[in-house]
């Protein structure tokens, strides 16, 4: 993990204790007995399975306007694909597909056309189509984003080897890797994010069904973040170690942001203009080992205070870290192997990446150990100048490496956004 993360007004919902919309009120302002009985008669009574136990069916929930959380919409069409600079959502699904045997460029183009139309509809809060399951009915767009990318193997399967970017060459091996090949890479990659769990699941299910006979799921992972509005004021997210995680993430308003994160209009290959490269890593956190450390020991591993993310050299979260500051005994206040020191761009030749991760928890094993950690996703114009140099340095001496394990990995070329009437990847597949 590196020390970087991406940071309509609506009618108010019914206040607690207020009468239901449209309900006839009794003398005390509550629902009248006639109204209650009428509702029960319309919806029927609930009988216990053993017979005899009878309960009144509740009145239907009132139709309430969407809150700002559910009404928030991200546009599908644009210069860049959604889900890169979009604020982090509370729910995420990552899924990789391999093209089916016999499927090639033609089938891939038809699939991307279907997926793009599905993503456009769902992100607008519309049903996926006539056979929509209704799972997310009435939920609104909920900041849904669907992002598509191509893996290294995609180009060989579609006869497009000559159009494969050099930046998509396989990542080097790292000494800390314990990678499961079955949960790594893939021909196609889809990132789904939303601020509602049902909206996110619905999109995942529809994308899977849309694949039809053209592609099959290779692996799939689920993640989460803190829900928007859960804190009293906007703040950098925390990871499952309890650390503020993402303080030094590049910001879109910085003058060199686009140069670092997106392939330029004049870049190579031409079909990647305004696109980006996503490195995806499933990083298991060894939480039992981590939580045995004292608070000062945890802070020394990271190089920042756990309470507010401020550097150990002093100040607040955004204060520039003083790498030369020493204590009374002459020891560096920020240890030489502290994670925050090693990952700084100025310690890595300016290498920078936009981190936009999700936490994950996939259960507890027979020994009581949680399978939990970070679905690390980082974006950059060139992974050989972004992720790779930083990870190589982490590999050589990051104090955090004793408490994490890289278990899966993938690198994907994510083309620029689709214009109106186009689908994602059209310039590659039809160029």
Q: Positive or negative, the Cα torsion across 354, 356, 359, 362?
A: negative
173 catalytic residue (yes or no): no
Q: State residue 90's pLDDT score.
A: 96
pLDDT of residue 64: 63
Instruction: Choose, from 245, 258, 382, 398, the residue flagged as catalytic.
Output: 245
pLDDT at 138: 86
Query: Exposed, middle or buried by CB within 10 Å (0-12, 13-18, 19+), for 48?
Result: exposed
Whole-number pLDDT of residue 55: 46
User: What gap in Å lies between CA 316 and CA 378, rounded to an integer?
Assistant: 25
Does the reported pTM lie above 0.95? no
* pLDDT per residue of the chain (431 residues) written in tens, 0 to 9: 555 444 433 333 433 444 333 344 444 444 333 333 333 333 333 333 444 444 445 566 565 677 788 989 999 999 999 999 999 999 999 999 999 999 999 999 999 999 999 999 999 999 998 889 999 988 899 999 999 999 999 999 999 999 999 999 999 999 889 999 999 999 999 999 999 999 999 999 999 999 999 999 999 999 999 998 888 777 788 999 999 998 889 999 999 999 999 999 998 999 999 999 999 999 999 999 999 999 999 999 999 999 999 999 999 999 999 999 999 999 999 999 999 999 887 777 778 899 999 999 999 999 999 999 999 999 999 999 999 999 999 998 899 999 999 999 999 999 999 999 999 999 999 98
CB-CB contact of 98 with 214 (8 Å): no
Q: Is the dihedral of CA 160, 185, 147, 213 positive or negative?
A: positive
Q: Phi/psi at 163 (nearest 5 deg)? A: -105, 10
* Confidence at residue 17, expressed as pLDDT on a 0 to 100 scale: 40
Cβ burial of 198 (10 Å; 0-12, 13-18, 19+) is middle
């Amino acid at each position: 993990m590196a020390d970087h993360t991406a940071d309509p007004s609506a009618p108010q919902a019914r206040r607690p204790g207020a009468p239901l919309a449209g309900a006839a009120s009794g003398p005390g302002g509550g629902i009248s007995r006639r109204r209650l009985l009428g509702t029960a008669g319309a919806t029927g009574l609930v009988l216990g399975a053993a017979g005899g136990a009878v309960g009144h069916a509740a009145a239907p929930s009132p139709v309430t306007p969407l809150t700002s959380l559910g009404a928030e919409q991200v546009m599908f069409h644009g210069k860049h694909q959604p889900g890169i600079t979009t604020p982090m959502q509370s729910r995420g699904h990552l899924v990789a597909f391999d093209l089916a045997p016999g499927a090639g460029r033609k089938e891939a183009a038809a699939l991307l056309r279907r997926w793009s139309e599905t993503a456009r509809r769902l992100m607008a809060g519309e049903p996926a189509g006539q056979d929509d399951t209704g799972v997310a009915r009435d939920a609104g767009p909920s900041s849904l984003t669907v992002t598509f990318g191509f893996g290294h193997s995609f180009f060989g399967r579609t006869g497009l080897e000559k159009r494969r970017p050099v930046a998509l060459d396989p990542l080097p091996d790292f000494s800390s890797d314990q990678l499961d090949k079955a949960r790594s890479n893939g021909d196609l990659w889809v990132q789904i994010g939303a601020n509602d769990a049902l909206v996110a699941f619905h999109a995942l299910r529809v994308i899977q069904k849309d694949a039809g006979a053209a592609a099959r799921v290779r692996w799939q992972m689920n993640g989460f973040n803190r829900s928007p509005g859960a804190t009293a004021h906007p703040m950098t997210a925390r990871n499952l170690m309890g650390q503020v995680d993402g303080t030094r993430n590049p910001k879109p308003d910085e003058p060199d942001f686009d140069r670092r994160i997106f392939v330029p209009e004049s870049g190579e290959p031409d079909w990647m203009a305004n696109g980006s490269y996503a490195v995806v890593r499933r990083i298991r956190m060894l939480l039992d080992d981590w939580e045995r450390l004292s608070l000062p020991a945890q802070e020394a591993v990271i190089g920042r205070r756990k309470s507010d993310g401020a550097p150990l050299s002093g100040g607040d979260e955004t204060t520039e870290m003083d790498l030369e500051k020493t204590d009374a005994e002459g020891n560096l206040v920020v240890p030489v192997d502290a994670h925050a020191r090693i990952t700084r761009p100025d310690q890595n030749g300016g290498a920078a990446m936009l981190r936009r991760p999700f936490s994950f928890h996939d259960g507890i094993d027979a020994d009581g150990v949680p399978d939990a950690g970070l679905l690390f996703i980082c974006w950059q114009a060139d992974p050989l100048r972004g992720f790779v140099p930083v990870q190589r340095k982490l590999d050589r001496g990051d104090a955090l490496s004793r408490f994490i394990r890289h278990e899966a990995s993938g690198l994907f070329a994510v083309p620029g956004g689709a214009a109106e009437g186009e689908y994602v990847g059209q310039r590659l597949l039809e160029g």
